[in-house]
Amino acid sequence: MADILQSVLRGLIQAGMYIAYRPKIKYDNPAVMDGDAPCVFICNHMSHKDGALIASVLHKKKPYFLIAKDWYEQKKYGIFLKRYGSIPVDREGMDTGWFDACKKQIEAGHSILIFPEGRTSKEDMREFQPGFAVLAEKTGAPVVEVTQAGNYKLFFGEHKKIRVSDGYQLECPKELRKSQYAKQVAGEARTRMMKRKSRLEKRN
């Protein structure tokens, strides 16, 4: 019953997001969305609406997404977020529970959507936290970069522009510490996604 309720809720949210914000989506390799194998999706963070919209765009993979614990625990959002499929993370403390929860979901066959900036940004992306890279390297799930641009214009005007890149596997070289490797991966991902965001902003 819980799975049915989640599927219905996801379907309704997806329909609403597509109607309201009319995302224009480009896939570098559409096959990245095929099959049931879990992925670790990462996306730049522009608005509190991002979780619902990006998860809707990635609906074939039905990802669970990370969300700030203070939002997750609000009464008016909590029930919806739990039903939809989200994982809380404490942005203020040394929270490792999110990692274990994500690892468990990946092992169960579910994809994960992470916003590695941790907080919203309007212009330049914030530095990426390396947790997603640690998770992907630990579980073997490929990383798929999702870049978004444009404002949320309800029903009319500007469309949200989204680019879904091909996936890639992570394997830490023997000469590097895992923490060092994860930071390197995070920095390189941010650089690529900043360039993609700039190109998306120039598209009609």
pTM of the predicted structure, to 2 decimals: 0.89
Domain that holds residue 113: 2-202
Tally of domains in the chain = 1
- DSSP per position, 47-58: -TTHHHHHHHHT
Amino acid letter, residue 152: Y
Residues 93-112: pLDDT tens digits?
Answer: 666 788 888 999 999 999 99
Q: Are 166 and 192 in contact (CB under 8 A)?
A: no
Give the C-alpha distances (Å, rounded to integers) separating 82 from 13, 112, 165, 176.
14, 15, 28, 38
Residues 155-189: pLDDT tens digits?
Answer: 887 889 999 999 999 999 988 899 999 999 999 99
Kindly state the DSSP code that residue 31 receives in the 8-state scheme. Answer: G
Whole-number pLDDT of residue 82 = 64
We report the CATH number of the domain holding residue 65 as 3.40.1130.10
Whole-number pLDDT of residue 92 = 67
Q: Comparing 11 with 58, which gets the higher pLDDT?
A: 58
Q: Which two tokens stand for residue 57?
A: 């765009």
Q: Is the dihedral of CA 152, 48, 112, 36 positive or negative?
A: negative
On the question of pLDDT at 1 being above 60, the answer is: no
On the question of pLDDT at 46 being above 80, the answer is: yes
